[in-house]
Amino acid sequence: MKALTFEQFGGPEVLTYKEIPDPVVEVDGNQLLIRTKAIGLNFADVYRRKGNYHLAGKPPFILGYEGAGIVEWVPAHIQHIQIGDRIAFADVPYANAELVAVPVDRAIPLPADLSFEHAAGLLLQGMTAHYLVNDSYRVQAGDDVLIHAAAGGVGQLLIQLCKSKGARVIGLTSSESKKQVALQAGADEVILYSSDWVYSVKHWSQDKEGAQVAYDSVGATLMDSFAAIRTKGTVVFYGMAGGDPAPVDPRMLMDSSKTLTGGDLWNHVTSLENRIQRANDLFEALRNGSLKLDGMTTFSLKDGAEAHRLLESRRSMGKILLIP
């Protein structure tokens, strides 16, 4: 099979598209062989390529954790999945290849009315947004919601899911062009990080007391997020794209009755049943129009280095896909 590989850590130039052996799957095991049709590119792939994340095994390394395709081989004892079935997955390694070995307990059935591209572009970021608005803090109609990095992949999905629940949304972005992206995603208001955004969020809120919840994926902004929420409000911390957060004094939480909660997708998606339920919720949102995936950019898998360059440039506004 052909795969996008690398032998050493570094920039996009270390990526090489070449022929390597097919994945080895056991006849009596619990892995399917999937021929990929679309693969999602994520910042985690960049971090792994650079060596920021640990990689198991020996070179050549293969990136990728998210994709969709068709079942090419299935063990005889697995009865509920057949050759030719359409399958999506969100946390399976070595996805940057024509063939991927997918554990049965991570194989999400993909309905015929949804494209491989939509599945590969939605699942990781979509399930992240799903648990944030349903588990970390259950967004209610009428809530004022602050979303950091509102033009990013998760940010745009958060905006749409919050709006579908009847919330009011104010987003934060770093530029005017990204502001327009967040507004097009459905935000009621978008302000720039370069402004006095804490004041703006409080002034924008319905009673001038601040948002009920702030979704903070920046990290370094954590204390300002606390300042922008109301008494008894919640900050959901789920990323550090802008650097490590400052230490939080628990006495501040006590004095203001504010809540800090963390978020990691894999603490919430813990079973196949849960994966399928969340995926089906997202698929249904695509069907009814409450969730849209606009502006996806596709690259051939062999041009993966160019896709990485675009992602690292921060000029991309939507999901980037690799097509084998």
> Do the Cβ atoms of 70 and 37 come closer than 8 Å?
yes
In the 8-state DSSP scheme, what is residue 97?
B
CB neighbours of residue 129 within 10 Å: 27
Q: How far apart are CA 78 and CA 226, in angstroms?
A: 50
* Alpha-helical regions (H) of the chain: 43-50, 116-131, 153-164, 176-185, 197-204, 222-228, 250-256, 272-288, 304-313
Give which of 157, 182, 181, 188 is closest to 285, Cα–Cα: 157
Q: Residue-wise pLDDT tens for the chain (324 aa)?
A: 999 999 999 999 999 999 999 999 998 999 999 999 999 999 889 989 998 777 777 889 999 999 999 999 999 999 999 999 999 999 899 999 999 999 999 999 999 999 999 999 999 999 999 999 999 999 999 999 999 999 988 999 999 999 999 999 999 999 999 999 999 999 999 999 999 999 999 999 999 999 999 999 999 999 999 999 999 999 999 988 888 899 999 999 999 999 999 989 989 999 999 999 999 999 999 999 999 987 789 999 999 999 999 988 877 777 899 999
CA dihedral 247, 249, 254, 255 (to 10 degrees): -110
Q: How far apart are CA 286 and CA 292, in angstroms?
A: 6
Domains and CATH numbers, the chain: 2-122+269-323 (3.90.180.10), 141-262 (3.40.50.720)
Report the pLDDT value the prediction gives residue 59, as an integer from 0 to 100. Answer: 85
> Do the Cβ atoms of 4 and 97 come closer than 8 Å?
yes
